[in-house]
Amino acid sequence: MNSEQPQTPTLKVGVVGIGWAGQQHLKAYSTIPGVEIHAVAGMEEDLLLSLQTEYAIPNAFRRWEDMLELQDLDAISVAVPTFLHAPIAVAALDRGLHVLSEKPLARSAEEGRTMVAAARRAGRVLDVAFNHRRRGDIQKLKSIIDNGELGRPYYAKASWLRRTGIPRLGSWFTNPELSGGGPMADIGVHVLDYALHLLGEPKVVSVSATIHAELGPRGRGGSSRFSPMSAEHAFEVEDFASAFLRLEGGATLLIEAGWASYREKDDLLGFMVYGTDGGAELTAKGSPSAPVGQLTIFTDKDGENADYMPEAQPGLGHQAVVRDFIESVRGGETVWGHHDGSLALNRAEIIDACYRSARESKEVQL
């Protein structure tokens, strides 16, 4: 009897966008057995040719539309400015391709719905790269919360704060028509995602949010670590945002997202939670953030303080995101329907409600 397992067919993937995020996708795909990077598309010609050579990619294009004309692609990653997420993803899904998009899903929930509808119409996977929930310290805290060690969480606070972290002053990032918003849409969506993930995906019933644009409009708060300054667009988004979320069941969550504010120089990625039987605090300081933060669990035993600091290993970031995407694609039709972008659309709907609340200076029901 032949005991050999049948070989998994090679998946041919393409990557649209060759900036930092696109390069993370290329690196991740190159490490997964049975995956061939079949095509790459990007506007920066020298970098495009360099990456094509580095990863031995047979097809390279300046226009993403040309890449989608290839007949033998199975899936693509979309790692381009936010305003291009929906048109590229919908076109790819309509051609029968699976899609992994960078965050946020789209500039708005309305635009995101067109992507989810396309995924459902095509019966294909639409995933979004929420890489921070794959951090090792967040995964460790998730297991502790899920095990019931903290009891019922009733208040949490999650933050990503920078001192000088506006990505490219005057670029598409700071134009709401292209980006969908400032730090609430850019890094706040990560904070929202890992916070709700940690809390067990509670339904958000209302939001009350504020936004501020205090430094960016004056040309302050930019950083050369992201890329050189640009003068293509005026600064028309916020540089700091906060939102108070009421959750189903009575718990509450405070979100903070800031590109620039007068605080210590290192980025802070944080999460704090109070539960009925314990609490926890995660603090990751660094630029952009430390691979593993300091995690403390606050609890007691027999009436005595029993606080401790569990160890966590670095997470795999985009490597885990891309690996999970490929596993979903290989899972077949019974799996694909569970990966239609709905979770990312939920995040987009909450972010939209935050911006509406800030504009109208009132609490918004979801």
pLDDT tens digits, one per residue of 146-187: 999 999 999 999 999 999 999 988 889 999 999 999 999 999
Residue 2 lies in a domain: no
180 and 111 inside one domain: no
Q: What is the mean pLDDT of residues 66-95?
A: 98
Residue 344 lies in a domain: no
- Write the CATH number for 25: 3.40.50.720
What is the reported pLDDT for 290? 83
The CA–CA distances, whole Å, from 285 to 162, 229, 241, 289, 321 equal: 10, 25, 19, 5, 22
Residues 6+ apart with CB under 8 A from 73: 12, 13, 14, 38, 39, 67, 97
Confidence grade of residue 224 (pLDDT, cut at 50, 70, 90): low
145 and 279 inside one domain: yes
For 127, the domain range is: 11-131+319-339
114 and 227 inside one domain: no
What is the reported pLDDT for 170? 81
Domain total of the chain: 2
24 and 173 inside one domain: no
Q: What is the mean pLDDT of the chain?
A: 94
What is the reported pLDDT for 289? 72
Its sign, for the CA torsion 197, 202, 205, 206, is negative
Q: What is the mean pLDDT of residues 237-255?
A: 98
DSSP summary character for residue 82: G
127 and 152 inside one domain: no
Helix, strand, coil share (%) of the chain residues, nearest 5: 35, 25, 40
What is the reported pLDDT for 234? 83
pTM equals: 0.94
193 and 291 inside one domain: yes
Residue 290 lies in a domain: yes
141 and 248 inside one domain: yes
52 and 154 inside one domain: no
Residue 298 lies in a domain: yes
Joined tokens for residue 37: 């990077």
Residue 1 lies in a domain: no
59 and 168 inside one domain: no
125 and 185 inside one domain: no
- Write the CATH number for 265: 3.30.360.10
72 and 121 inside one domain: yes
187 and 239 inside one domain: yes
